[in-house]
Amino acid sequence: MNGLKTTVLLAGLTGLFLVVGAAIGGQSGMTIALVLAVGMNFFAYWNSDKMVLSMYGAREVGPREAPELYEIVRELARRGSLPMPRVYVIDDDTPNAFATGRNPEHAAVAATTGILRILTREELAGVMAHELGHVMNRDILVSTISATIGGAITWLANFAMFFGGSSRDEEEGGGGGLGLVGGLLMMILAPLAATLVQMAISRAREYGADDAGARLSGNPLWLASALEKLERGNRAHPMHAADARPATAHLFIVNPLSAGSLAGLFSTHPPIEERVRRLRHMEGVS
């Protein structure tokens, strides 16, 4: 089922890529978008994790640079019988974290300096266990690739606004682009549609990672407490780097978008209150 959902999600994002291409250049635009989409899917499979980490200026750390974080991740990976992921730190006051990679053998976890400052060791373990839960559930590939393709759709939609589609194809009877009005619509609707496609799967996956993380850490209350702190911290210090890249927002453990951001109205995350309620009602976690 997870594989089917992944296929549907990637097909949906690729389809949106083609629609925006058609809006820009009609039939020829769609053809070019198809070639780009195929190439992007192949490129994203191998490189999307590196691209996302680079977007946020993440730096890889070891036991010397971040001893507590590294040791927590190593212990959790051992408990979950997972390969040791690469560990990254992002210099940002916003408390947040995410996991990326194409499979457990090529996974990475990243935490901001903000999250390292405000969480206790137990709460940090709960967060890292959640991220490794994504690795265990094999969510990270589709999440990372959809961030890459969703970002490309947003870029194409903005491109459409400035160039307004091709009227030449219309004049020649080829169906043509959608013109300036279509370009404006694509600028608004395509990023929204890409977010909605992501949202169809990512909300359920957050609950699944919460559950897996609670069991991996051994105490669901650690993650519940961390989520409450992270929600307050993100309201107080929104991640402006994420506002500039809304297609990557679903990667983070809590929604990093500011309340004033249009994309923030379409969060790919379930409500924190519901996540905390579920965690507090978990029993028999060991």
Q: What is the pLDDT of residue 172?
A: 47
**What's the whole-model pTM score?**
0.76
Q: Where are the domains of the chain?
A: 2-280
Written as six digits, the tokens of 40 are 């992007």
Contact 83, 105 (CB under 8 A): yes
Question: Which value, to the nearest 10 degrees, does the dihedral of the CA atoms of residues 30, 38, 150, 107 take?
Answer: 180
Percent of the chain with pLDDT over 90: 43
**Active-site residue, selected from the candidate residues 65, 75, 122, 131:** 131
Q: 96-121 b/e with 16+ CB inside 10 Å = b?
A: bbbbbbbebeebbbbbbebbbebbee
How confident is the model over 54-79, as pLDDT tens digits? Answer: 999 999 999 999 999 999 999 999 99
183-229 pLDDT, tens digit per residue, is 566 666 666 666 655 665 567 789 999 999 999 999 999 999 999 99
CA 99 to chain centre: 9
- Lowest-confidence segment of 265-269, 270-274, 275-279 by average pLDDT: 265-269
Active site residue 131: yes
Residue 61 β-bridge partners: 87
**Model pLDDT for residues 94-147, shown as the tens digit of each residue:** 999 999 988 899 999 999 999 999 999 999 999 999 999 999 988 877 766 666
Distance between CA atoms of 137 and 2, rounded to whole angstroms?
9
Nearest to 143 by CA among 27, 33, 13, 283: 13
Question: Residue 153 pLDDT > 70, yes or no?
Answer: no
